[in-house]
Amino acid sequence: MLAANSEFPLLLKFIFPTDKLSIQVHPDDAYAEAHERAAGGRGKTEMWHVVSAEPNAQVLVGLKSGVDKQAFLEGLRKDTLESLFQSHPVRAGDTMFVPAGTPHTIGSGMIIFEVQEYSDLTYRVYDYGRVDAQGKPRELHIDKALQVMNFGASSARKTSRLSLPADGLERFLLLACRYFAAEQWEPRGAFVMRTDPSHFDLVVSISANGFLNQIPCRLGDCWFLPANLGEYNFLPLEKPATLLRTYPPDLNALRAELWEAGHDKAVAREAVFD
C-alpha cells in the first residue's frame, strides 16, 4: 500500500514514433537522489511492450560487447554511434526490459506501450541533428549520460511471457522488477477479478472496447483500480481482446505464484528482475 504522502510510483504512456527518437540514457535512483533532487530524485527504469510494428522495425538497446567510454565518444564524434549498439528487431507482442543506465533509442514504424518509474529524467546524447521550434539544436546531456551509462553487460533484453492461473481469461506475466510488474490478459468473454489488497492496479485496453464495471472502456483507456476496490468485471465487445495490467509487485509472492503455476526457478528468473 502507498503511504498517504507518497508520490505515485508509475507512469504509463503510448509512444508513436514517426522517426528515430534521440539516443538517450536514464539515471538510476542513487544517482538521481544525489544529483537530481530538484527534478524529483527518482531514476527511470522502464519496459516496452510492442503493440504493433511494421516490417523491419527495430530498437537499439544496450551497447555491443567491448564498447567502452572512449569508443562511445569516438562514435559520437564521427556520427557512427548507432553501429555501437545492439539492434533488436521487434514485432507485435514483444516485451523488453530497459533498466536505468542502458543507452537506447526507439525506431519508427511501431506503437510502444511503456511502463516506467514516475520520472522524467532523460540524458540525451545524440539527436540526429534535429532542432527545436526556434531552430536551435536540442540540449544534449553528454557529461551526465557518461556518468550513468552502463558500458558492461546489461540485463536489458526481451522477455518471454509466462502463463499464470486465472478464471475466464488467459493471463500472462510479461515481466516484473522491483518497480513494476506487467501482465497481459486475453479474455475469453466476460470475466471477474479482484484487486490485491496490497496494491493498486492500472489496466489498459490495447485491442478492444468493452465495459469495466458497466462503464464504457475504450481502446487505449487506462483505468486506476484502487487496492480496496475488491471485485470488478470486464466485458469485451470485440474479440480478440487484450488488456495490460501493471502494478507495484511483491516479487517474492510473484515468484511463488510462478512456481505454483509449474514454471521452474530458472524460467521465473528470466522474467522477474531484482
Active-site residue set: 124
- Laid out side by side, the sheet with 110-117 consists of 10-15, 110-117, 46-53, 95-98, 157-159
53 contacts: CB under 8 Å, gap ≥ 6:
90, 91, 92, 94, 109, 110, 111
Cell of 233: 468485471
Cell of 174: 510479461
Q: Which residue, among 122, 152, 165, 153, has the nearest Cα to 140 in the 3D structure?
A: 122
Q: What is the largest CA-CA distance in the chain?
A: 58
User: Using CA atoms, how far apart are residues 60 and 105, in angstroms rounded to an integer?
Assistant: 5
Cell of 108: 519508427
Q: DSSP string covering 18-86, please? A: SSPPPEEE---HHHHHHH-GGGTS----EEEEEEEE-TT-EEEEEEPTT--HHHHHHHHHHT-GGGGEE
